[in-house]
Chains A and B, each alone.
Chain A
């Protein structure tokens, strides 16, 4: 982990995320909520359903209310499409590039 990333909380998931893993997602986000900047790394998640999206929406709203910054890193076109269909693409700060996500969170150039 780089020095830059050590100042962040990174919540990383892997594999398909659906309703059967909702408690795991909620728990992992809950543990990270006190950090000033949080990267939700879904780069190794090929699929996420709306129950996970709802958890992210709730977490994002909570983070905003508490003055935290979050960014969501996504590599799967399927997740980008599900966000579009749900009409929440503009709600999250979503990135497909890790450096851009870190720059958003820290306000510094991560490259």
Chain B
């Protein structure tokens, strides 16, 4: 991959179409970067979980807000993705099933950090080149 590519989206957390809109915008962005399945699908799964985490807050409280996504390519075949909303993180951790979402994010991303200052920012680092298969044999 050459050059720097960037995607920014923000949408209302109370809009039922928000998670799907984020996934589809991200899919188009990754396709334009020639990132193919299954790697593309995995990144969409992880980011989809981070967006669901943000939307969960709106579902719990009835307060609509904004969820923002910022994705940018970096050196060394790396993609950095931030998903940010102003909801309190701890509420969502308590909700059954949300621990599952973060487990999925952590299983896919190379690195994950969560900043709860003024909201919740989930920062994820992905490799954009597929890993060589561990069991691949040559010769």
Contacts and interface: CB of A to CB of B under 8 A. Distances in A.
A50 B102 CA distance: 9
B52 A50 contact: yes
Nearest to B19: A18
Given A78-B45, A81-B41, A19 B55 contact: yes
B17 interface: yes
Interface string B24-53: 000000000000001001100100110010
Contacts of A53: 97, 100
Interface in B83-118: 96-98, 100-101, 103-104, 107-108
A49 B104 CA distance: 10
Contacts of A88: 100
A99 interface: no
Contacts of A20: 16-20, 55
Contacts of B41: 77-78, 81
Contacts of B101: 49-51
Size bracket of the B interface? 20 to 34
Nearest to B97: A54
B123 interface: no
A85 B20 contact: no
A87 B99 CA distance: 12
A50 B49 contact: yes
Nearest to A18: B19
A86 interface: yes
A58 B18 contact: no
Interface of B: 16-20, 23, 38, 41-42, 45, 48-49, 52, 55-56, 59, 96-98, 100-101, 103-104, 107-108
